Amino acid sequence: MAVPGGGAAAALALTLLLLLRSCVSGATHASSALRHAVPRGDAGGGLCGQLLLPLGYPCTEHTVETDDGFLLSLQHIPHGKNGVADNTGPPVFLQHGLFQGGDTWFINSAEQSLGYILADNGFDVWIGNVRGTRWSKGHSTFTVHDKLFWDWSWQELAEYDLLAMLSYVYTVRQSKILYVGHSQGTIMGLAAFTLPEITKMISAAALLCPISYLDHVSASFVLRAVGMHLDQMLLTMGFHQLNFRSDMGVQIVDSICDDGHVDCNDLLSSITGENCCFNGSRIDHYLEYEPHPSSTKNLHHLFQMIRKGTFARYDYGLWGNLRRYGKLSPPPFDLSSIPESLPMWMGYGGLDALADVTDVARTVKELRSTPELLYISGYGHIDFVMSVKAKDDVYVDLMQFLRLRANGSLHSSY
C-alpha cells in the first residue's frame, strides 16, 4: 500500500495531530516510564563497556560500513569469563529484534542471558546492531537528524546490514557462521537466506519466534496502530524516525492507549501477547537500554505485511515499484529459494501474538527443508530472549542444535 496523497494524506495527518494534542495532558503508566527512563546507550562506553567488561567477560567493539554508508557497531566476545584466549570456538552471530539492540542478549543475568551462556560454553560470540539503534547511529554522509538517514526498512537491514556484518565476521574468522535471530532478526535472516552471497557464509540458522508472514497477528496495540494507519500518518507528517523515548513517541503511545480500544496497563502484553516468564521487577533496568529507535518506513513495511499477508519487498506504489523493481508489485522473498542444505532450527510459543503459530506453520511449509522445531505452548514473544527459565526451556535445545553444526570442537560446561 502506497503512502496516501492529497486530501487523504491531509486527513490522516490531521487525525494524528488531534490525537496527539488530546494526549498531552494525560499519560499512561507505560508512557510515564518511557519518559522518565534514562537510556544507558547514550552514556558512552559502548555495549562492551556497559554490560560485559564490568562482569569480567572479554569484549571488543568493531565498526562495519555498509554499501550504502551506514556505520554499524559489532561486539565480539571470543570466549567466556573463564575461557582460554587461544581456544576460540565456532563463530555464532546474534541478531536482535525490532526496537531492540545487541544489549537484549545480555540484559538478564549472566546465568539467564543467551549471549553470556554461549560465550561460557565455548562459542565465539558476535553481536549485530542494525542501523538506527543507539549502538549504530553513524553514517558516512548523513546524521540522525537527516531524513535520508531513516530511509530504510527491514529489507535494507537484510540486504545491506546483514551482508556487511556477516562478511566482516566471515573475513575475520575464515569460517562459516552460526546464525541466531529473534523476531525482526528472523525476518532479516529469512530474507537474507534467499541471497546466495549471504547463505554461502552461514553453516546453520536458529530462529527464535520466526516471522515471514504477519497476517495472523493478534496483538491489540499493533492491530490498533494498523487500523488507525499510524504508519501512513507519521510518514505524511514527515516523522521518519520512530523513537518511543522522544516526546512524540510517548504521545503516540498515549494516543493509542487512551482511545479505549487498547488496555495498556500491561503495555508489553498488548504489543507482544502474554509472556509467561518475563521478570517484571527488572523493567526499570530494561528501560535503561530499550526500546531503541527504528524508522517509520520500517514500521510501514511491517504493516504492509500485516495488511497484505505477504513476505515481500517494500511497496512503493505502482509507479515507485516500476522504477525500483521494474514491476507493478514488489517482488516477494521466495522462501523456497533458501538452500535445502541449510540446517535450520525454530523456537516458537503458543502465547506469541506476533509470531503466530499459523504463520509459523506457513513459513515451515514453504521451506524446501524441514527445520527442527521447539514449540512451547506457554511461551510468548519476549520469553525466548528474556524468560528467567529460557536457559532450561529453550537454550539447551538450541545449543545442542548449534553444537552439531559447529565447525570444530567445543569445550562446554553446560
Residues known to be catalytic: 183, 352, 381
SS3 20: helix
Quick one: which H or E segment has residue 401? helix 396-405
Strands 138-139 and 70-77 turn out to be antiparallel
Q: CB–CB of 96/104 below 8 Å?
A: yes
* DSSP at 395: I
Place of cell 496495540: 221
Place of cell 525454530: 346
User: Which amino acid belongs to residue 201?
Assistant: M
Neighbours of 303 (CB within 10 A): 21
Convert 267-333 into a string of H (helix), E (strand) and C (coil).
HHHHHHCCCCCECHHHHHHHCCCCCCCEEHHHHHHHHHHHHHCCCECCCCCHHHHHHHHCCCCCCEC
SS3 138: strand
Cα 59 from Cα 54, distance rounded (Å): 10
The Cα-based distances of 52 to 115, 170, 286, 399 in angstroms read: 10, 23, 16, 21
